[in-house]
Amino acid sequence: MSGGTILDLVLIAPRLVTAEGERAAEIGIADGRIAAVAGYGAGLAGRERVEFADDEVLLPGLVDTHVHVNEPGRTEWEGFASASRAALAAGVTTIVDMPLNSLPPTVDVPALEIKRGVAADQVSVDTGFWGGAIPGNASDLKPLHEAGAYGFKCFLSPSGVDEFPPLTPEEMREAMRVIAEIDSLLIVHAEDPNGLESAPQAHGPGYESFLRSRPPAVENDAIAEVIAAARETGARVHILHLSSADALPMIADAKAEGIRLTVETCPHYLTLKAEEIPEGATAFKCCPPIREDGNRERLWQGLLDGVIDCIVSDHSPSTAERKEVPFGDFGTAWGGVASLQLGIPLIWTEAARRGLPLSRVIDWMSRRPAEIARLGAKGRVEVGADADFAVFAPDERFTVDVQQLQHKNKVTPYHGKRLQGVVRRTYLRGTAVTGAEPRGRLLSRN
């Protein structure tokens, strides 16, 4: 930056928390990007200077790479306008949309263009797109990659929607071979279909019945299959929404072996306990399931050990009618937790209780998701990066009121939960945004 340059905006942060730690700093912004990072008191010149309150912390914008927006086709479940406003309220400045639950699913270039066309004028945060890998579309993966998809999602067991069928192990290897050739990423819902078929079927309002229907072995066997295929093909792979802590040793071994493997988990697996889920409370149903407290503790240890790389929402809403079925039947309710607006207070409440620094949370929820998806301008506070920030009050507490959430369908397992940490303001590419106007951009890998 040349001497005498006047910046568009200077953020004066007595507390800037990044994945690298905490410091006091001044951040200069020009044309939506970070133009300078200087010491506190440097006196950077800007057309506007904003200094934050003593109880506020400046964070890099959070990155959520696992969001089911469901539009077009199932917009009554969510939609780009409502989902992106919910993200913005949570300090999430970048989301990557999943390829299924929309109609058509994002499994070829025309479907990607349809989705982009629908999203373009609605998004309040920057938004990228995953492609899908389904039986018979291996020839579509390279064109989707060239059209800007950040990678490809597949299921190994039924997805819950007929238009997005699962891959067999050989079909997964075929997809991995293409993905290795183009240096993309396969993201995998890893549950073994044979294990699901042999497990007892869930029925009725008791959560224990649902938990028995998806035992840890179902995840573990599928993850072992993914690791074996990644070893054979050399592809870069990512395990979605890890629930079973039993899989952590094999994941650690695979990483030590040099297999190109990353893993995510979600707030519901880190904050909720199977033992405390009430009878008929189908808002808690997700696949794979929320497991027992001992399992939860081991997932936290997996994060601390670096075996689990990041935390993302897996925001998977549906209509209230699909989620809150008569008699609270866990066998028939839609499986998905809506939590996009609550990510950082959920995780910070638990992390603070455990004595963990906020910088660890930012590593898991901003830097690492951005790195895994190769969102180069996101998740970091460096010259040249996008000027995305959240202003966070880490000591302020609130009680979740489902009616205050931006989610289109007001169903969440967190209603009434007391949480710590409030996002007071969000900056997207250097502009303070509220969601009143959709100021997000569509992102492309290119």
Q: In which band, very low, low, confident or very high, does the pLDDT at 326 lie, cut at 50, 70 and 90? A: confident
Q: Are 335 and 286 in contact (CB under 8 A)?
A: yes
**What tens digit of pLDDT does each residue of 177-194 get?**
999 999 999 999 999 999
Say whether pLDDT at 13 is over 80. yes
Instruction: Write down the pLDDT at residue 304.
Output: 98
Say whether pLDDT at 367 is over 80. yes
C-alpha separations of 406 from 89, 90, 123, 304, 342 in Å: 8, 10, 13, 31, 11
CA 418 to chain centroid: 22
Q: Alpha-carbon distance 214 to 190, whole Å?
A: 12
Q: What angle do CA 96, 333, 248 make, to 5 degrees?
A: 55
Q: Are 16 and 363 in contact (CB under 8 A)?
A: no
Domain ranges of the chain: 9-54, 58-422
Say whether pLDDT at 3 is over 70. no
Instruction: Write down the pLDDT at residue 1.
Output: 46
CB atoms within 10 A of CB 16: 24
Say whether pLDDT at 6 is over 90. no
Instruction: Please give the share of the chain, as a percent, with pLDDT higher than 70.
Output: 99
Instruction: Write down the pLDDT at residue 2.
Output: 44
Residue that wins the pLDDT comparison between 1 and 300: 300
Which whole number is the average pLDDT over 334-356?
A: 97
The helix (H) or strand (E) run that includes residue 345 is helix 343-353
Which whole number is the average pLDDT over 409-432?
A: 97
Query: Which residue has 């309710």 as its token pair?
Result: 333
CATH of domain 58-422: 3.20.20.140
Q: What's this model's pTM, rounded to 2 decimal places? A: 0.97
Task: Report the SS3 class of residue 172.
Answer: helix
Instruction: Write down the pLDDT at residue 345.
Output: 98
Share the mean pLDDT of the chain: 97
For the chain, the distance separating the N- and C-terminal CA atoms, rounded to the nearest angstrom, is: 27
β-strands 261-265, 33-39: how paired?
unpaired
Q: Alpha-carbon distance 136 to 158, whole Å?
A: 16
Q: In what order do the strands lie in the sheet with 237-239?
A: 131-132, 152-155, 186-189, 237-239, 261-265, 310-311
C-alpha separations of 354 from 147, 296, 297 in Å: 43, 13, 11
Instruction: Write down the pLDDT at residue 124.
Output: 98
Instruction: Please give the share of the chain, as a percent, with pLDDT higher than 90.
Output: 98
Q: Alpha-carbon distance 381 to 307, whole Å?
A: 25
Q: In which band, very low, low, confident or very high, does the pLDDT at 4 lie, cut at 50, 70 and 90? A: low
**CA dihedral of 408, 409, 415, 421, whole degrees rounded to 10:** -20
Q: Alpha-carbon distance 435 to 87, whole Å?
A: 10
Q: Which three-class secondary structure string do you get for 276-299? A: HCCCCCHHHCCCCCCCCHHHHHHH
Q: What angle do CA 347, 353, 355 make, to 5 degrees?
A: 100
Q: Alpha-carbon distance 171 to 402, whole Å?
A: 41
Half-sphere exposure (Cβ direction) of 411: Cα atoms closer than 13 Å: 24
Q: What angle do CA 225, 226, 230 make, to 5 degrees?
A: 120
CB atoms within 10 A of CB 128: 23
